[in-house]
């Protein structure tokens, strides 16, 4: 079964409410025009409800940028999986490099979040990827192996098959520097071998692996033309409807859809 490409926006801590709604409307139109690509938008948590309303009646999936691992309780400032689901989210970004490196989230917390997401029917987008110094030290595979194996630890096969993994080399996020298609493909193929080791070949061929890190209209085609790159997680270039629409169009063309 071919993997349906999945291209998802991460608006991070950007937009006003009005900007988020306008972006959602434009992105929802793009999603409707390109049904062969699954399109998602992860707005700031405070605008999820407004974005979900704007995306209503469109195929645009709405997601959270993060969540806590517990369903409720005394965790001031956190948002729970059931709350995201209640707001209409279908997916949630977990283990984003900014969560790992700015907020020091450890592997075991991220793994608990992944399991908590599945408990409420949210698809986790598990972000994995190495720092620049780790790449330079030849440790890319070691780091990616650790992120993937710990992130999926304990997940039954039926859940792991539905997880989305985003390979996001940290040195390429928000820097304008993109991994070359060869560099990205190499790591994506490595992630598939890991999935085969952890589960089986069939599951390894089922899981969608996005690339993230300064994806823009000018590089989306070459990245998505690679066989193991099933989509993209897009930050900066998703903040303008036109550039995100161009990325979707390039991705669809690269996959010959």
Residues that bind ligand PEP (CB under 6 A): 10, 12, 168, 173-174, 212-215, 233-237
State the nearest-atom distance from the C-beta of 107 to ligand PEP, in Å.
18
Between 134 and 168, CB nearer to ligand PEP: 168
State the nearest-atom distance from the C-beta of 219 to ligand PEP, in Å.
11
State the nearest-atom distance from the C-beta of 173 to ligand PEP, in Å.
4
Residues 6+ apart with CB under 8 A from 2: none
168 is catalytic: yes
Between 204 and 213, CB nearer to ligand PEP: 213
How would you write the chain as a 3-class SS string?
A: CCCCCEEEEECCCCCCHHHHHHHHHHHHHHHHHCCCCEEEEECCHHHHHHHHHHHCCCCCEEEECCCECCCCCCCCCCCEHHHHHHCCCCEEEECCHHHHHCCCCCHHHHHHHHHHHHHCCCEEEEEECCCHHHHHCCCHHHHHHHHHHHHCCCCCHHHHCCCEEEECCHHHCCCCCCCCHHHHHHHHHHHHHHHHHHCCHHHHHHCEEEEECCCCHHHHHHHHCCCCCCEEEECHHHCCHHHHHHHHHHHHHHCCC
- CA 194 to chain CA centroid, Å, is 18
Between 152 and 233, CB nearer to ligand PEP: 233
State the nearest-atom distance from the C-beta of 239 to ligand PEP, in Å.
9
Catalytic residue, from 38, 96, 98, 147: name it. 96
- Token pair belonging to 10: 């991460």
Between 73 and 176, CB nearer to ligand PEP: 176
Query: How many Cα atoms within 13 Å fall on the side-chain side of residue 188?
Result: 29
- Taking CA 59 as the corner, what is the angle to CA 61 and CA 22, rounded to the nearest 5 degrees? 75
State the nearest-atom distance from the C-beta of 65 to ligand PEP, in Å.
9
147 is catalytic: no
Catalytic residue, from 38, 130, 134, 168: name it. 168
Name the closest residue to ligand PEP (Cβ).
Answer: 235
Between 75 and 103, CB nearer to ligand PEP: 103
Between 178 and 206, CB nearer to ligand PEP: 178
State the nearest-atom distance from the C-beta of 12 to ligand PEP, in Å.
6
For the annotated catalytic residues, the residue numbers are 96, 168
């Amino acid at each position: 079964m071919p993997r349906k490409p999945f291209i998802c926006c991460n608006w991070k801590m950007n937009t006003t409410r009005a900007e988020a709604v306008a972006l959602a409307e434009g992105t929802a139109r793009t999603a409707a025009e390109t049904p062969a690509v699954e399109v998602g938008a992860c707005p700031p948590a405070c605008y999820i409800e407004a974005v979900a309303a704007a995306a209503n009646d469109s195929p645009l999936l709405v997601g959270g940028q993060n969540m806590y691992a517990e369903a409720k309780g005394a965790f001031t400032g956190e948002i729970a999986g059931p709350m995201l689901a209640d707001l209409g989210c279908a997916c949630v970004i977990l283990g984003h490099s900014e969560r790992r490196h700015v907020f020091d989230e450890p592997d075991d917390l991220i793994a608990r979040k992944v399991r908590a997401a599945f408990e409420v029917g949210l698809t986790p987008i598990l972000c994995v990827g190495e720092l620049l110094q780790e790449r330079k030290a030849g440790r890319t595979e070691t780091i990616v192996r650790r992120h993937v194996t710990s992130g999926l630890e304990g997940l039954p096969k039926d859940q792991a098959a539905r997880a989305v993994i985003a390979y996001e080399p940290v040195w390429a996020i928000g820097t304008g520097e993109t991994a070359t298609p060869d560099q990205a493909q190499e790591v994506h193929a490595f992630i598939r071998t890991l999935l085969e080791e952890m589960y089986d070949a069939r599951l390894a061929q089922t899981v969608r692996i996005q690339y993230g890190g300064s994806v823009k209209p000018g590089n989306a085609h070459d990245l998505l033309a690679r066989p193991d790159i099933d989509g993209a997680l897009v930050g900066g270039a998703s903040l303008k409807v036109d550039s995100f629409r161009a990325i979707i169009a390039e991705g669809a063309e690269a996959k010959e859809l």
